[in-house]
Copies of this chain bind each other. A is one copy, B any other.
Amino acid sequence: MTKLEPRLIEILQGHFGERFSLAQAVREQHGRDESAYPMTPPDAVVFAESTLDVQFLVQQCHAFKVPVIAFGAGSSLEGHVLAFEGGISLDLTRMNQILTVNEDDLMATVQAGVTRNQLNNEIRHTGLFFPIDPGADATLGGMSATRASGTNAVRYGTMRENVVNLTVVTAQGEIIKTAQRARKSSAGYDLTRIFVGSEGTLGIITEVTVKLYPQPEAIAAAVCSFARVEDAVNTVIQTIQMGVPIARAEMLDGLTIRAINKHSKTSLREQPMLFLEFHGSPQSVKEQSETVQALAKDFGGEDFEWANQTEDRNRLWMARHHAYFACLQLRPGCRAVTTDVCVPLSSLSQCIRDTLEDFSQSSLQAPVFGHVGDGNFHCLILVDPSSPTEMQEAERLNHRLVERAISVEGTCTGEHGIGRHKMELLRDELGEPALELMRSLKRAWDPLGILNPGKVLI
């Protein structure tokens, strides 16, 4: 049964009508994400259609001291949107309008529920595109809230670099805009960057202005096989160190390739591989790809193969973006304990090698792949979530990996965020005094603790 006060239910029903739901199916749908946590539904769900809707809801939740959890595509990986302390799930997916496309400024302003694919489809005719691509078709609000990135970050940056400003509803129910639309600014504290990555704990993002980029004149993609993971990784590291502006540089280990072959009906050699992409003028793409092909050869790369046609390229990146789901199918019915450490490039090769060695001694399967140009890689530790032994083993591997990353000045998460799952690891990474600064910011901006409680900070 719901723990919400009858008076609050009445107020929300009055304002939202059928867009306020206590139905079990709806609540359960909002009590799941892509993590291995058991379903943890909220007490109710509200479907917002405007910033004013969000403001109304937050003001009520503030008055009644009820948790409010922003919910987008539900594709988060660390338990970000689960209602561990009950409260109301605020579904923003109906806020799916593209508000303005400023072609001359290379910017678009969208409502928080717009997904990255929707944005790219709707702006295709302008010759511009939005590059940030986590695997899932996440919403731009959610991507802002977790500081998402993806395969293109090595060239175009992450949400940190690509959000121009945000409209946010604060815990007190004020509507603010974090910045103007200038490409740079030194005007006061960087409110935009404070909300980017705050995972719904400091305010509710309702609108996002992002940078767009001219579609490259030429694009070339390629794959290349390697005998050892470290050879693939070192090819990319040298590429970056030489200043080649590579657009995508993904490493996938043999197990991941096996999963992809099965899921996407490809016939790639089941060895460590690089998926690469180059953007620029035809001449510059040719130069870049020649340089990288030569580097790959130095590291024993084989079967360097071009995907020149748009369809071939799309198939390649579709396969990459489905790697997460493909890997889940290696073991029917399993869930994944995911990790995504990010380390300085100089330590990447050794860190991946040690991790694979560690996994090889475990009873669990764990495909490894990632955005190696950024030093970021993911491990999907495949578990039966109902087996305490397996969950314990997965956490042991995860902790060892994060410890390894932190010991070389890396981070416990390159792009997935802290959510519920990595709160202790965040403290391990930055230490108690830094965490205390974060806590005091949280207390200052959300003194009642109503915004996505039980996440990010312990």
Using CB atoms and an 8 Å cutoff, list the residues of chain A in contact with chain B. Answer: 102, 104-107, 146-149, 153, 157-158, 160-161, 170, 174-191, 193-194, 196-198, 202, 213-214, 216-217, 237, 240-243, 245, 280-281, 283-284, 287, 342-346, 374-376, 406, 409-418, 422, 426, 429-431, 433-438, 440-441, 443-445, 456-457
Query: Is B184 within 8 A of A158, CB to CB?
Result: yes
CB distance from A168 to the nearest CB of B (A): 9
Alpha-carbon distance between A453 and B129 when the two chains are bound, in angstroms:
44
Residues from chain B with a CB closer than 8 A to the CB of A409 are 180-182
Query: Is A196 within 8 A of B191, CB to CB?
Result: no
30 contacts between A and B (CB under 8 A): A104-B346, A105-B344, A105-B345, A147-B186, A147-B190, A160-B190, A174-B436, A176-B430, A176-B431, A177-B431, A179-B411, A179-B430, A180-B429, A181-B410, A182-B376, A183-B374, A184-B374, A185-B413, A186-B197, A187-B413, A188-B438, A188-B457, A190-B197, A191-B434, A191-B438, A194-B441, A214-B241, A214-B242, A443-B444, A444-B444
Known A105-B346, A193-B160, A430-B179; judge A186-B287 contact (CB<8 A): no
Query: Is A177 within 8 A of B375, CB to CB?
Result: no
Q: Which of B170, B198, B343, B376 contacts A437 (CB 8 A)?
A: B170
Residues from chain B with a CB closer than 8 A to the CB of A412 are 187
Residues from chain B with a CB closer than 8 A to the CB of A197 are 186, 188-190
Residues from chain B with a CB closer than 8 A to the CB of A104 are 237, 241, 344-346
Q: Which of B148, B194, B438 contacts A193 (CB 8 A)?
A: B194
Alpha-carbon distance between A217 and B416 when the two chains are bound, in angstroms:
36
Known A170-B437, A241-B214, A284-B281; judge A183-B375 contact (CB<8 A): yes
Query: Is B180 within 8 A of A411, CB to CB?
Result: yes
Alpha-carbon distance between A67 and B418 when the two chains are bound, in angstroms:
36
Query: Is B185 within 8 A of A342, CB to CB?
Result: yes
Query: Is B160 within 8 A of A342, CB to CB?
Result: no
Residues from chain B with a CB closer than 8 A to the CB of A457 are 188
Residues from chain B with a CB closer than 8 A to the CB of A413 are 185-187
CB distance from A137 to the nearest CB of B (A): 19
Residues from chain B with a CB closer than 8 A to the CB of A176 are 430-431, 433-434, 437
Alpha-carbon distance between A144 and B107 when the two chains are bound, in angstroms:
26
Of A191, A196, A240, chain B has the most CB atoms within 10 Å of the CB of: A191
